[in-house]
Chain A
Amino acid sequence: MKTFSLFCFVFILTSVTEPSLLEAQYSEESISIVVHESIETDAINIAQLKAFYTLNTLNWKDGNRIRLADYKGDNYLRIRFYSKLDLTPSKIKKIWLRAQFTGKSIPPNVVNSVAEMIEAVTDLPGTIGYVPTSRVSPDMRILFEISNDL
């Protein structure tokens, strides 16, 4: 019985989703969906954004491939972002896995922090990502903004 209780305790501990404290500081901020300033595209709407992240749109207007960037784990930014898209991290993972396993697309570029996200968007051509609006740099173009009224 003792062993079973201990197992349950460890199981619950490892099952609980703990949002990353690193991103908690941005929980009150709006989120900007950003690309490198060199990408020639207009502002997008929520349906287009969802089409990008659900891999229904794979290329930019100039034919170059859209590279998705996403955060690792279940941080506040990620949960808010997918909640706006009416998705959850597990649902989006399933969509990406299906695309990956059927050869439709390679997985997104996974980053560990906002700083890494900024680096991915500004350094890798064609990358789309999302950052707290206060972290948008001059060499980024904002395609869409998710307000903090969720």
Chain B
Amino acid sequence: MSNRIVGLILLLTILTQVNNNAFSQVNDDDLYIFGFSQIIFNHRQLDSNIYPNTLFPAGYSISSKTSTFALHQVNLFFQKSINNKTTFFLNFEASGSYSSRLPSGEFEIPEGWISFKLNENLLLKTGLLLPKFNNLTEIKNRLPLFPYIIRPIVYETLFSNIFKPEDYKPQNAYVQLSGSNNVFKNYIFDYAFYIGNAENSFLSSIRSNELGAEEENTTLYRGENLNTALLFGGRIGIENFISTKKMGVSFTFDEDNKTKTENSVFRLPQLTTPVLGEVARYRLGVDLSFTIKNFSFESEYMGAFHDHSKIRKKEAFRTAKLNKYFFYGNLTYDFSEKLYAFGYYSTNKDYTYEFVAPNSPSRAGINIISLGGGWRINEVTAFKLQLLRSSLNKNEYLEYNFNMLTVGISTIF
């Protein structure tokens, strides 16, 4: 027997025998520290063909293949129960093989809040927090909770450089009041209302030299919200905790930052939007999830609707429309306690570039189909495999196919 085989057997044995420390005894008064990491390897192939047209007279093709390892994400959580009614929670997150030396990846503190239990049914959270919007926003960075590795596009941090998640959903809030009431047998009505800053692109970034003279004079510190418009949002939902059915409606109101020219998601250099200012925006979300025997289904819809009345007063922007839509549905089947398979589909459409380039790629829509499975090696470690195919609907500018195979190991500690 070769050394490689012995090594493989040893690795499997160790992984399946490792103690489950994630669920070990915890006293209420202790500072509780826990976290998770996910390591991935992916191989991806991109084939893109830009057709000759008025914006790109020559047209061109791009084809690339890459293989890479990455420390997809590491999160470290600190939780401290101050008393029966008060809890402190802190989350450190590093993604994309974070290194300040290289530099690569990103590091952030996405959450740091304190919660007060006002009564049995009402909870007040203050601090930097992930608000309740649909089912996934609150847990978007908790990778071990997901059957897949690569999350739906608006949730995946690896794509955040080319795709702005805040175009579809709120990123954070600072005060949230949430509660739940038993309305009738086994059914809980839950609700949350929150307030926070407008989208992150309004935050000042003194070192980036992106500030105008007026902004530079008024900015006190890096990361300050330079907009008086705040985010208001909430979610109301109903859940049957016996049969694990859940649905809800979410909403937000804030302003979309269109104060700078913007490139399209496909980085087509000639395809940009002009400065439109700050545009009032309403986001709507609907989520539905349920479990029937070994099947678990979850789905989400998001729509970002803009008040175009102000920008359409200018003749050049008369047909401007900035709305965006996203849908996602995932079905997981558990073969056993340890083995599962999943498949998800997502699609999103963005009308932002339609008035500067009719039948734009983002208006046509991006479709993603993903299939995969996982093996829960023990209570804290899971091996995951995922195939993902992304393509564009037919449009005048671009044909685009993206295929990715990803394997990963997720560990809770």
List chain A positions with a Cβ less than 8 A from chain B: 3, 6-7, 10-11, 14-15, 17, 47, 50-51, 54, 56, 59, 63-65, 67, 70, 72, 74, 86, 88-91, 93-94, 96-98, 100-103, 106-110, 120
For A70, the chain B residues whose CB sits under 8 A away are 23
Q: 6 shortest A-B CB distances, which residue pairs?
A: A103-B89, A101-B142, A14-B16, A110-B23, A107-B23, A106-B26
Contact between chains at B139 and A98 (CB < 8 Å): yes
Cα of A132 to Cα of B216 in the assembled complex, Å: 70
Which of A6, A14, A86 is in CB contact (< 8 Å) with B377? A14
For B20, the chain A residues whose CB sits under 8 A away are 72, 110
For B291, the chain A residues whose CB sits under 8 A away are 91
Cα of A11 to Cα of B120 in the assembled complex, Å: 46
User: Would you give the shortest CB distance from B341 to chain A, in whole angstroms?
Assistant: 14
* Contact (A56, B22) CB under 8 Å given A15-B339, A47-B186, A63-B84: no
Contact between chains at A6 and B5 (CB < 8 Å): yes
B38 within 8 A of A: no
Instruction: Taking A108-B23, A109-B26 as given, write out 17 further A-B residue pairs in contact, using a Cβ cutoff of 8 Å, ordered by the A residue number.
Output: A3-B4, A14-B16, A17-B336, A47-B185, A50-B242, A51-B241, A64-B84, A86-B243, A91-B291, A97-B142, A97-B144, A97-B145, A101-B139, A101-B142, A103-B113, A106-B81, A120-B25
- Interface CB pairs A-B, < 8 A, 14: A6-B5, A10-B9, A10-B12, A14-B12, A15-B338, A17-B338, A51-B241, A56-B241, A89-B337, A90-B337, A97-B412, A98-B142, A106-B32, A107-B24
Cα of A94 to Cα of B412 in the assembled complex, Å: 12
Contact between chains at A54 and B241 (CB < 8 Å): yes
* Interface hits, B315-367 → A, CB 8 Å: 334, 336-339
Contact between chains at A94 and B145 (CB < 8 Å): yes
Contact between chains at B376 and A90 (CB < 8 Å): yes
B262 within 8 A of A: no
User: Would you give the shortest CB distance from B413 to chain A, in whole angstroms?
Assistant: 12
For B23, the chain A residues whose CB sits under 8 A away are 70, 72, 96, 107-108, 110
For B116, the chain A residues whose CB sits under 8 A away are none
User: Would you give the shortest CB distance from A93 to chain B, in whole angstroms?
Assistant: 7
B8 within 8 A of A: yes
For B337, the chain A residues whose CB sits under 8 A away are 17, 74, 88-90
Cα of A86 to Cα of B22 in the assembled complex, Å: 24
Contact between chains at A107 and B26 (CB < 8 Å): yes
For B84, the chain A residues whose CB sits under 8 A away are 59, 63-65
Q: Which residue of B lies closest to A51 (CB)?
A: B241
Cα of A110 to Cα of B81 in the assembled complex, Å: 19
* Contact (A109, B25) CB under 8 Å given A14-B16, A90-B376, A97-B412: yes
Contact between chains at B139 and A102 (CB < 8 Å): yes
Cα of A100 to Cα of B32 in the assembled complex, Å: 10
Contact between chains at B145 and A101 (CB < 8 Å): yes
B299 within 8 A of A: no
Cα of A6 to Cα of B9 in the assembled complex, Å: 9
Contact between chains at B12 and A91 (CB < 8 Å): no
Which of A59, A86, A89, A90 is in CB contact (< 8 Å) with B242? A86
For A72, the chain B residues whose CB sits under 8 A away are 20, 23
Contact between chains at B28 and A56 (CB < 8 Å): no
For B189, the chain A residues whose CB sits under 8 A away are none
Cα of A96 to Cα of B142 in the assembled complex, Å: 13
Cα of A7 to Cα of B338 in the assembled complex, Å: 17
For A10, the chain B residues whose CB sits under 8 A away are 8-9, 12-13
Q: Which residue of B lies closest to A2 (CB)?
A: B5
User: Would you give the shortest CB distance from B268 to chain A, in whole angstroms?
Assistant: 38
For B242, the chain A residues whose CB sits under 8 A away are 47, 50, 86
User: Would you give the shortest CB distance from B96 to chain A, in whole angstroms?
Assistant: 20
Which of A15, A17, A51, A96 is in CB contact (< 8 Å) with B375? A15
Contact between chains at B12 and A11 (CB < 8 Å): yes
B87 within 8 A of A: yes
Cα of A129 to Cα of B189 in the assembled complex, Å: 28
B34 within 8 A of A: yes
Contact between chains at A50 and B8 (CB < 8 Å): no
Contact between chains at A56 and B188 (CB < 8 Å): yes
For A102, the chain B residues whose CB sits under 8 A away are 138-139, 142
